[in-house]
Structure 1
Amino acid sequence: MSGPCVSAFDWVPDFARGLVRDLRVRWALEEAGIAYDSDLKNFEESKGPAYRQWQPFGQVPAYDDGQVRMFESGAIVTHIALGSEALMPRDEAGRARALTWIFAALNSIEPGVSQLAETDLFHEGEDWTKERRPQVEEELRQRLGELSAQLNGRDWLEDRFTAGDLMMSTVLRNLRQTSILNDYPVLTAYQHRCEARPAFQRALAAQLGDFKEAA
């Protein structure tokens, strides 16, 4: 193995391309300057016993660098970041703040984003969504407003780009099926800054390229 291996799906529906969570790990590795290999899995392989030895839930990504074998995108990104000054400040206070933002993205922002995406993409038109969706959106908008207030006047969540920004922007990216982010110009500008980073562009091209090659 020439570098870390990251598992990814060989096919997903068009709306999910550029959103699957192996993108987070690819981006972290690109920011850290670490070459990696992708291990593409089809649906049957992802549910099989061999892969579940690596990823118990049959999801992607999973990660193996020859010494560390793990799963869950947040955990993998954190592991990579702790070894890379490009993603994690070396001072204790800066490191603690970057870790805080990783957890904030996953625990304070992503649940609402995921609920809204699931409602829109998988349950559109069902009767229960008429009542539930406005509630989900209202709760999410409160969080987005709070995040926007934190970012106002800043390029990044802290005084430099960290793994916290990487995680936050990949969470916000899952709002692509809505126009909600347009109502928060600070967040829209932030998202554009994150996605303009060369490392992100390389990671996105690699994920999309794998889908194309597998097809």
Structure 2
Amino acid sequence: MKTQLSALDWAPEFAQGYVKDLRVRWALEEAGLSYEAVLLDDAARAGDAYRTWQPFGQVPAYRDGEVEMFESGAILLHLAAKSEALAPRDPAGFAKATSWVIAALNSVEPAVQNLVHLDVFYAHEAWAKARRPQAEIELSGRLEKLANWLGAKDYLLDRFTAGDLMMATVLREVPDLHAYSATLDRYLERCLARPAFERALDAQMRAFRAS
């Protein structure tokens, strides 16, 4: 069967271009693998048929005739195992790329999302305004450590891998990244300049424009 990836048929304007199927679209583009986007509305995501594919009714979910799975990080690692474009073939190199995928999700994204949620969903709440300075400190600490690792390197390892792909999708959501780190801002620009990212973003936005 053709590789299928679930995606939203509509999202609010502020979320367009950021829905997490973008991560998998980008990985598929880097690997040169064709796929079909299965666009879902709210009713379809809540239905029993989709919940057997993605128990939480979220996107993305993925299937390729051999596996059926969900969670963007898990899917990315599955694709990295299939394509040298996403990770080195040697066990040591693959392990390092895997570590950076998980670091993006577990060590950096929670701090980013903490701040984003305060700004987007609770901006007018008094408790959110009181919480924001500490959230900024926590995020700044994470980004400083990441920037220190990156230093003058182009990518997290000696080449672009799935770890960079995941990290870039996380850093895209940092408000005013340059204010935190010029090093990370340049790194993000480098990652997002890749043609595979541009194709993936265009594919997601085309679906939203059509709806």
Assess same fold via TM > 0.5: yes
Pairwise CA distance, 1:183: 3.1
Q: Does the 8 A contact of 2:140 with 2:180 survive in 1?
A: no
Report whether the alignment pairs 1:202 with 2:199: yes
Q: How far, CA to CA, are the matches of 2:177 and 2:31 in structure 1?
A: 31
SS in 1 for 2:105: helix
> Could you tell me which residue of structure 1 aligns to residue 185 of structure 2?
188
RMSD: 0.9
> Could you tell me which residue of structure 2 aligns to residue 21 of structure 1?
20
Name the amino acid aligned to 2:203.
A
Q: How far, CA to CA, are the matches of 2:20 and 2:143 in structure 1?
A: 21
Q: How far, CA to CA, are the matches of 1:17 and 1:93 in structure 2?
A: 36
Structure 2 unaligned regions, length at least 5: none
Q: How far, CA to CA, are the matches of 2:14 and 2:178 in structure 1?
A: 18
Runs (4+) of structure 1 moved beyond 4 Å?
none
Pairwise CA distance, 1:180: 3.7
TM-score, structure 1 as length reference: 0.96
Report whether the alignment pairs 1:132 with 2:153: no
Q: Does the 8 A contact of 2:45 with 2:57 survive in 1?
A: yes
SS in 1 for 2:172: helix
> Could you tell me which residue of structure 2 aligns to residue 41 of structure 1?
40
SS in 2 for 1:7: strand
> Could you tell me which residue of structure 2 aligns to residue 97 of structure 1?
96
SS in 2 for 1:6: strand
Pairwise CA distance, 1:127: 1.1
> Could you tell me which residue of structure 1 aligns to residue 107 of structure 2?
108
Instruction: Tell me the alpha carbon deviations over residues 171-206 of structure 1, each in whole angstroms, 9 at most, x when there is no partner.
Output: 11112xx21443311101000010000000000000
SS in 1 for 2:25: helix
SS in 1 for 2:152: coil
Instruction: Tell me the alpha carbon deviations over residues 58-94 of structure 1, each in whole angstroms, 9 at most, x when there is no partner.
Output: 0000001112100000000110011100001011111
Instruction: Tell me the alpha carbon deviations over residues 133-182 of structure 1, each in whole angstroms, 9 at most, x when there is no partner.
Output: 1111110100001101111110000000000000000011112xx21443
Provide the identity percentage.
56
SS in 1 for 2:38: strand
Name the amino acid aligned to 1:51.
Y
> Could you tell me which residue of structure 2 aligns to residue 84 of structure 1?
83
Q: How far, CA to CA, are the matches of 2:108 and 2:36 in structure 1?
A: 30
Q: How far, CA to CA, are the matches of 1:127 and 1:62 in structure 2?
A: 37
Name the amino acid aligned to 1:111.
P
Q: How far, CA to CA, are the matches of 2:120 and 2:149 in structure 1?
A: 30
Query: Alpha carbons of 1:204 and 1:93: their partners in 2 closer, same or farther (altered >3 Å)?
Result: same
Q: Does the 8 A contact of 2:123 with 2:129 survive in 1?
A: no
Pairwise CA distance, 1:47: 1.3
Q: How far, CA to CA, are the matches of 1:180 and 1:137 in structure 2?
A: 12
> Could you tell me which residue of structure 1 aligns to residue 49 of structure 2?
50
Most deviating of 158-167 and 39-48: 39-48
TM-score, structure 2 as length reference: 0.98
